[in-house]
Amino acid sequence: MDSAARTIQQLKVQVVTLEHEIQQLTLKNQQPLISRFCVTDEDHRYYTRFSSKKVITVFWESVYPTASRLVCWSKAQQAAEVMPSPQRKLELIDELFMFLFRVAAGLQEKTLSSLFEASVSTISRIILIWTNYLYQVLGSLPSWMTREQVQATMPDKCRLYCPQLRVIIDCTEIRCETASSLSLQLETFSSYKNHTTVKGLIGVAPCGVITFVSTLYTGSVSDIEITKRSHLLQLLQPGDEVMVYKAFLIEKMLSEVGVKLIIPPSKKSTQLSKEDTQKTLAIACLRILAERAIRRVKEYHIWDGLVPLSIV
């Protein structure tokens, strides 16, 4: 009897221990996936490209009120015109995390399917919904800085040599898959990259803030034509200055709207004067701002390989 009582007592302790472990596992599984992957600020930078947990928390609190009303439609529901259930297979914040996984970390949809325990079609649909949602929300925010804002944040060296500088612009290309259509191949082929690409224009204020991003164009479109199509000229005012690299021949286009082009001064003799040398160095330092902005964009791992035509 004493032996049986001791055994029962030991089993009771084991039951309590196992119940506690089950409770902990249940709580862990109920936690958003982002809290399990992103513990440190370094984790957040790698998986989401946000600089810290604090920053992504502020962003999430900003978009949650409208994101919570997003609805996922399947093709069957669209065909039958049946409103889908508001219940979600994943936590809403995990849907955002999945989108960031795809864009920032570059994980493929098949990998995300295993990670989030959902079908590939569900993963694809959620990413598409969040892509469109964030494009509408963030695209509606004014990023173009006024002349007063640019002047107030302008570095001293820029104020000395380019006092009316409004924006530094540059074009960049992203390699994409080659289409089977010969006409589309011709449109997307870039002689500069010797590959099919999509191309966009980016603008940076003298303080380093990205203030303009164009839509993407096919690789065969020239930088000059992209500048014309992107409606950047409509944002500039007479008296403004625009900085570009030497091969960006848009001086005539800018002069028509009263805007001055800033490029490094050319040699008038065998050697630049002291003033021209200092101005060249100042312009070179400012030109790097656009290159750094483009680099920040291309650090997203979704660009590591060729961009599939399915997501263009």
Q: For the segment 186-213, what is each residue's pLDDT rounded down to a tens digit?
A: 899 998 889 999 999 999 999 999 999 9
178 and 296 together in one domain: yes
196 and 292 together in one domain: yes
Other CB atoms closer than 10 Å to residue 286's CB: what's the count? 21
Number of domains the chain is built from: 3
20 and 57 together in one domain: no
Q: What are φ and ψ of residue 265, in 5° steps?
A: -65, 145
259 and 178 together in one domain: yes
- Band the pLDDT of 238: cuts 50, 70, 90: very high
171 and 306 together in one domain: yes
Using CA atoms, how far residue 11 sits from 3, 25, 169, 279, in Å, is 12, 21, 72, 82
298 and 208 together in one domain: yes
Residue of 137, 130, 141, 72 lying closest to 101 (CA atoms): 130
pLDDT at position 27 is 44
38 and 26 together in one domain: no
Kindly tell me if the per-residue pLDDT of 85 is higher than 60. Answer: no
Q: Where in the sequence is the domain holding 9, given as residue range(s)? A: 2-30
162 and 299 together in one domain: yes
Mean pLDDT in the chain? 84
The alpha carbon of 115 is separated from its chain's Cα centroid by a whole number of angstroms, namely 23
90 and 203 together in one domain: no
104 and 155 together in one domain: no
pTM to 2 decimal places: 0.76
